[in-house]
Structures are given as structure tokens and as C-alpha cells.
Structure 1
């Protein structure tokens, strides 16, 4: 180990801590789309220079959660309706493929975990618990695919649409989630039979329905303009 490796390693650890907090705050809705991220405040909170903060921002940018604009700053990523629609159209092609490859490798233990998560989702007591469990359910369902590049792309696109799913879920309320629960149950049945084609077909429909429902509520996209257009 060289003399410089320890400080570099320590800075990387701090950058990861900052990135983890930013990721958590954005996914939890504490930081909303279009909100500017003040690097100096993060540096002050963690008692560090801006260098590890900038490194942390690059990490969450790769997650699709932050937009960096050269010589300007950083914002929580946001989408307009057209961008969200495009993202869902891509997800409708990628995620069924990822799921089909995953289902073929499901173990009995993994299926049991998915069955349990589906039951927990239906019993979720609030929107944040529902979204957290729903995310765990789908990410776990993709986990056996052995396709890391595709999984990374899917996660990034999931992240960019997460805020709008939250807003939509709050809008429709628990009664409006009954179709989602039904679709999850159908997915679980396909998982139990390791029916990869049926699981892929169901996932396509699951995503398509969400896209169409979001398109009926353009007001969900009016609170924050797309950060991709910031100068």
C-alpha cells in the first residue's frame, strides 16, 4: 500500500456514504425532481471538501437520480411526460427480457421469498412501505437473470420514474392499487411454475398499464421541469 492509497480509499468511502444518503433521500421523496443539490451544504454536513461530494454526485448520476450540468451545478433528475413515456416504452422491452432470463434460473428459495414479498405488498400500511416492497419484489424477480448490463439499465430507468409512480400511487389511493395486486399475484403464479414466457408477457402488460395511467395525469409532471434542459 502506498502512502497516498489510504487517503484515496478514505475519500472513496466518504463519497459512497454521501452517495448512499443522496440515493436514499431521492428515492424516499425527501429530495424532489428539479431540486438543486447544494454541494457546499453536503460538504459542510459531512465535514469534507467538495471533492468527495462531486464524486458522490457522479455515482448517483450513474444511477439516473441526479443530472449534472457542467459549470452550473447538480439537480435531482426529473422527466416531463414525453420523457417518462419514452422511458416506459423502453422498460416495456427491457424488463420482460430480463425477467424471462431470471425466471429460468429461479430456485425454490427465491420463489418463496417472492411469494412472501407479494403478500407483504398487499398488506403495506402506507405509500412509502408499498413502494419499497414493490421495488424489492421486482428487483428480486430480476436477480437470477445473470445479465448485469441489462439489470443496470433497468435499475437506472426504474430510478428515473420512481417519483412519478409515487405521485400516481398517492393520487389513486389504495383502492386504485387493486389491479396492481392482481397483476402481482399472476406474476407469482407464473414464478411458481417457472413459466418464463408468461412472466415476461405479464410484466410487459404491467409496465404498459402504468405508462398509460401516467399519461392520463399530465399534472403529475408539472411541478418540476425536465432537468435535462437546464443550462
Structure 2
């Protein structure tokens, strides 16, 4: 996230993609604004903690404040934005606890989904899953990898025919996308994840429900713990680096005189 800005608008971000302007009815306008801001957050153009000023966003999109407020409320409900009284909106920060919890919930839901899907898989659906697995394994671009990773998981669960379960899993994939991208700073673990995908696919092809459930659970819980450790260690390193700066900037204390 080296190119991230400290807030909106985005003119200060080197090479940052321009957000689109919109000329649509208000209901769809708020949706377009929300999607544009979500993409900027996921891509790292808007940094964690960056303020999101409603007036600047409204000017950029040439709209009133109403669809902007609706877009920010939507993003807040999805966990992308934090809104505080008297402070306004800002990009939600990446936290170790959230990362771990997202993957814990995914583990439970996707273990159920794969158990329901396996009996309904066909040769065609398995060929599609294998192609998606291979595409994700060979993808070096973080944005495309995230999309192909989700497509692979979705393909594994699609034969379950549980639309509400699929919707919940998709929402968690979106919520966890910023965390998944951190794996690209840890290439060894990305390779490990690809190997786990192959093992899960093999269990699905054998119609081994118990093994597939065990593998998908371990795969997701392991990712959650990896990201949890990474973010925790990064926060500790940042705090340690900031401590000397705070100490240097602290005003000298006046010696206390006995009896004063």
C-alpha cells in the first residue's frame, strides 16, 4: 500500500486509477460510488484509516451528499468503512482479530458447503474446478489471483445448490479480500496455499467428504492464523519504531524541587 493516499480525493496517489464519475438515478448512483470506493480500498489506493470526506466525494462524482451518505452506510455495513460521531467516515483498519474471525467463519460455512456439494459434482463441474485451480496457481497478479481463488472456491460449492449459504460465503470473501492480498508479501505461503487447493480438489474428485471437509477447514483456519500473526507482528514492529520518535518529541520534564 505504498501508493495509498491519506484520504479522498485521490489526486495525490501516484499511478492511482481515477474513480469513475456517475450520471445515473440516485439508487444506482450510490451503488456505483460504493463499488468505486470499495475497489480503491481493496487495491490499497485508499489507505486504512484514511478519512473519507463526504463533500470531496460528492464533488468528484458531481452528485449531492445523499447518495454519498447511502454509499458510506453500505460500506460501513460491509465492514469497509468506519463512521464515528463528530469524526466522520474513514477506511476501516486491518486488524488481526477481524482477519482470524473472518477465516474462522469461512471455515465453518465452507466445510458445510463442500459436504453438500460433493455428491452433486459432475465430470463437467470437476473439470471446471480443476481449470480454475490451475489458473489461480499460475497467477502472479494479486487482483487476478484473488478473483481466481474465489472462483475456484465458488465452483467447489456451487453444486450444493444453497443460494443463501453461497451469498454468505461470497460476502466473507469480499470482506477478507484485503487480508488475502497480504499473502503476496509471503510467497512461500502462497505456494503452500496452492498445494492445499490441489489436495482439496483431489478429495472432491474422490468424493471423500470427510477428508475434503478436514482439508478446507485446515486451509482456511491456517490462512486466518497466518494473517493474524503477520498483522500482529507488523503492529508490534511499528509500535517499536514509533517509540523512539515519541520519546524524542516529548518536552523535557522540569525537575521537581523537594518541598515545593
For the criterion TM > 0.5, the same-fold answer is: yes
Query: In the aligned structure 1, how far is the partner of 2:77 from the partner of 2:157?
Result: 20
Deviation readout 1:166-200 (Å, 9 max, x if unpaired): 22x23212x43222111111122233344443322
Query: In the aligned structure 1, how far is the partner of 2:233 from the partner of 2:74?
Result: 30
Query: In the aligned structure 1, how far is the partner of 2:166 from the partner of 2:115?
Result: 12
Deviation at 1:47, TM superposition (A): 0.8
1:69-148 correspondence runs (5 A): 69-148=84-163
Tell me if structure 2 keeps the 8 A contact 1:33–1:76: yes
Tell me if structure 1 keeps the 8 A contact 2:184–2:190: no
Structure number with greater CO (CA < 8 Å, separation at least 6) is 1
2:50 matched to 1:35? yes
Which residue of the partner structure matches residue 187 of structure 1? 200
Deviation at 1:70, TM superposition (A): 4.5
2:80 matched to 1:65? yes
Deviation at 1:39, TM superposition (A): 1.9
2:213 matched to 1:200? yes
Root-mean-square deviation (Å) = 2.7
Which residue of the partner structure matches residue 60 of structure 2? 45
Q: Which has the larger radius of gyration?
A: 2
2:31 to 16, 25, 29: 16
Query: In the aligned structure 2, how far is the partner of 1:59 from the partner of 1:104?
Result: 37
Secondary structure of the 1:124 match is coil
TM-score, normalization by structure 2:
0.70
Query: In the aligned structure 2, how far is the partner of 1:62 from the partner of 1:108?
Result: 39
Which residue of the partner structure matches residue 159 of structure 1? 174
TM-score, normalization by structure 1:
0.78
Shifted more, 177-186 versus 98-107: the winner is 98-107
Secondary structure of the 2:110 match is helix
Tell me if structure 2 keeps the 8 A contact 1:79–1:221: no
Tell me if structure 2 keeps the 8 A contact 1:65–1:159: no
Which residue of the partner structure matches residue 4 of structure 1? none
Give unpaired runs (5+ residues) of structure 1: 1-8, 225-231
Query: In the aligned structure 2, how far is the partner of 1:122 from the partner of 1:83?
Result: 26
Tell me if structure 2 keeps the 8 A contact 1:66–1:75: yes
Which residue of the partner structure matches residue 186 of structure 2? 172
Residues 109, 24 of structure 1: alpha-carbon distance in 2 compared, 3 angstrom cutoff = farther
